[in-house]
Amino acid sequence: MTATKLGGPVAPVRPAPAGDPGGGLAGRTVKIVLLGLTVAIAVWAAFPLIENEMWTGLAILLATTAGLLYLYLTPRHIPLKYLAPGTVLLLLFQVFPVLYTASTAFTNFGDGHRGSKQEAVVAIQTASVTQVPGSRQYALTVATTGDPASGPLVFLVTDPVTRQVSAGDADGLAAVPPGDVTVGSTGRVTAADGYTVLTAGQASLRSAEITALAVPTAAGAIRSSGLSRAYEGRAGRAYDEGCDCIRDTATGRTWTADENVGAFVGADGDRLAQGWKVGVGFGNFTRVLTDSAIAGPFFRTLVWNVAFAVASTGGTFVLGLLLAMALHSPRVRGRLTYRVLLVLPYAMPSFAMLLVWRDMFNTDFGLINGLFGSDVDWFGGSASARLAVILVQLWLGYPYMFLVATGALQAIPRELSEASRIDGASAWGGFRRITLPLLMVALTPLLISSFAFNFNNFNAIYLTTEGAPFPADNPANGATDLLITYTYRIAFGGGGAQYGYAAAISIFIFLIVAVVSAVSFRRTRHLEEVHS
């Protein structure tokens, strides 16, 4: 089958030279090998999908492979041949995660709202299991299906009367065939096929997980009592289908299911912590705009965020271009040495240097105060903290601009500036009228990307000031916070993960950056025409 597919390009049917995809024997061989590899990878990837009966995944895999084979065997669709490799990867690892994230913006997905309602009910019932007089006792053996230190835990419980061994995890209990296990005199399992029995030492290291594990059963759940005994307790809270509510068997209190918020709500508005995932429409979006505790800081942060992105991008660009211009002359001696030393900041790992800069700005034993003999609490005041983070960005970012500006300058034919000089233009005039416009053709898209990158430059803030200083009345929103760090703190920090809400804010951020970029993009159309 493979042979017929690969046989395609060997006998080209089209005489038109522009349509011949191969071009030389070497090119054709490389192409055959690459297509063969594609088929091989597809076959390798197909087996696990078939085993797990994931037919949708298999269909996508087959369609993609067939599409790629067609694309590279037909003489048509030339642009697509060049775009396909990047596009496939882009779709898989960037577009898909982004769309997935965006879709959670319309849900309450987060801590306490992860699974389905059914799972929430099971979790509530299992968590409320307590030992009551007459609870059935089991001999317990803690085992795992994986690595003793980190593999998923399994309870092997032995019925004291029948000596039947069952294996249970958070999904439920299943009997183990007697032939597969060796049961000791105490009723504890000493060995079992497919499981690794944890030693006392290994088990005690994971005692918190063992205490937390509850195996749901029809009557309630099996929980551990120490490391060698387990009991089947009764659920203190049970789901009642008639009223669609959770009832506490001891007190008789009820919590009714509310499908709008995805939680069981009591008469007094009290919610059970374990809820389920529901769609909330535009709820997350309106919360950003209407919740006064969020909207005010949001717009204040937005203004600083834009200022930070503009200052970082503009500052690094001006400094980088100035340097590139200064060194773009054969008359400067030691240009190579300059260049090597000047890009050193870029060679240093940025995340580590951000942490180093943070320590250099330290008030008491920081290098900056030490060098200048000053005593400034850099991250204590809004203005100095903002100045500090922009200075750090300047240090980190100018070598990049220097490199690309140097590259762009070298790509501009020297004849152009020489010609303008002969025509009587001044050095500055030549730069402004000839060099700069040409540079901008290549660099404008980069500036837009740099702006977008700095707009969301999480590390620049998170690894230095962490948003500080914070106003006394609002510990959630600091003076140097960018929208992204602010979002991160609200959504992931402190009160538990709220992915749905975080996704909604990130869509706002995305829209802001996208609009700014789209407007700038219109200008590049204009620039592109300068050259062509």
Partner 1 sequence: MTRWIQQVGWRHLVGVLVLAFALVPIVFVVSAAFNPLGTLSSSELVPTGASFGNFTRLFSDTAFGRWFLNSAIIASVSSIASVFISALAAYAFSRRRFRGRRVGLLSVLLIQMFPQFLAIVAIFLIFSAVTDLWPAIGFNTSWGLILLYLGGALGVNTWLMKGFFDTLPRELDESATVDGATHAQVFFRILLPLVAPILAVTALLAFIGTINEFLIANVFLTDAGSKTLPVGLYGLVAGERNANFGMFCAGTLLTAIPTVLVFQLLQRYITDGLTAGAVKG
Site residues for partner 1, window 42-101 (CB under 8 A)?
Answer: 45, 48-49, 52, 54, 78-80, 82-83, 85-87, 89-90, 92-98, 100-101
Work out whether 11 is an interface residue with partner 1 (CB under 8 A). no
CA 350 to chain centre: 19
231 or 402: CB nearest partner 1: 402
173 or 327: CB nearest partner 1: 327
- Binding residue for partner 1, selected from 42, 248, 253, 400, defined by CB under 8 A: 400
Work out how close the CB of 85 gets to partner 1 at its nearest, in angstroms, rounded to a whole number. Answer: 5
SS3 content of the chain, % helix, strand, coil (to 5): 55, 15, 30
Which position has the token pair 């590279």? 72
13 or 336: CB nearest partner 1: 336
Work out how close the CB of 306 gets to partner 1 at its nearest, in angstroms, rounded to a whole number. Answer: 14
Work out whether 532 is an interface residue with partner 1 (CB under 8 A). yes
Q: What is the DSSP string of 505-528?
A: HHHHHHHHHHHHHHHHHHHHHHHH
- Binding residue for partner 1, selected from 412, 434, 468, 476, defined by CB under 8 A: 412
Work out how close the CB of 250 gets to partner 1 at its nearest, in angstroms, rounded to a whole number. Answer: 38
Report 145-204 residues binding partner 1 (CB under 8 A): none
Report 427-486 residues binding partner 1 (CB under 8 A): 438, 441-446, 448-449, 452-453, 455-456, 458-459, 484
Work out how close the CB of 157 gets to partner 1 at its nearest, in angstroms, rounded to a whole number. Answer: 27
Nearest to 273 by CA among 423, 434, 128: 128
Work out whether 322 is an interface residue with partner 1 (CB under 8 A). yes
Residues 324 and 498 sit within 8 Å (Cβ to Cβ): no
* Stretch in the footprint of partner 1 (CB under 8 A) among 126-134, 172-180, 284-292, 413-421: 413-421
Identify the bridge partners of residue 214 per DSSP, sorted by sequence position.
223
Q: What is the DSSP string of 277-339?
A: --B-TTHHHHHHHH-HHHHHHHHHHHHHHHHHHHHHHHHHHHHHHHHHHHH-STTSTTHHHHH
Work out how close the CB of 116 gets to partner 1 at its nearest, in angstroms, rounded to a whole number. Answer: 15
Calpha distance 173→269 (Å, rounded): 35
Angle between helices 292-327 and 283-290 (to 10 degrees): 90
419-458: buried (b, 16+ CB within 10 Å) or exposed (e) per residue?
ebeeeebeeeebeeebbeebbbbbbbbbbbebbbebbbbe
Nearest to 439 by CA among 405, 402, 403: 405
32 or 442: CB nearest partner 1: 442
54 or 175: CB nearest partner 1: 54
Site map (CB under 8 A) of partner 1, residues 125-154, x = contact: ------------------------------
- Binding residue for partner 1, selected from 353, 434, 468, 476, defined by CB under 8 A: 353
- Other beta carbons within 10 angstroms of residue 487's beta carbon come to 24
Calpha distance 527→438 (Å, rounded): 9
22 or 469: CB nearest partner 1: 22
Report 486-525 residues binding partner 1 (CB under 8 A): 487, 499, 502-503, 506, 509-510, 513-514, 517-518, 521
497-507: buried (b, 16+ CB within 10 Å) or exposed (e) per residue?
bbbbbbbbbbb
C-alpha radius of gyration, the chain, whole number: 32
Angle between helices 350-360 and 382-411 (to 10 degrees): 140
245 or 403: CB nearest partner 1: 403
- Binding residue for partner 1, selected from 10, 371, 383, 422, defined by CB under 8 A: 371
Q: How many residues bind partner 1 (CB under 8 A)?
A: 113
* Stretch in the footprint of partner 1 (CB under 8 A) among 151-159, 217-225, 242-250, 411-419: 411-419
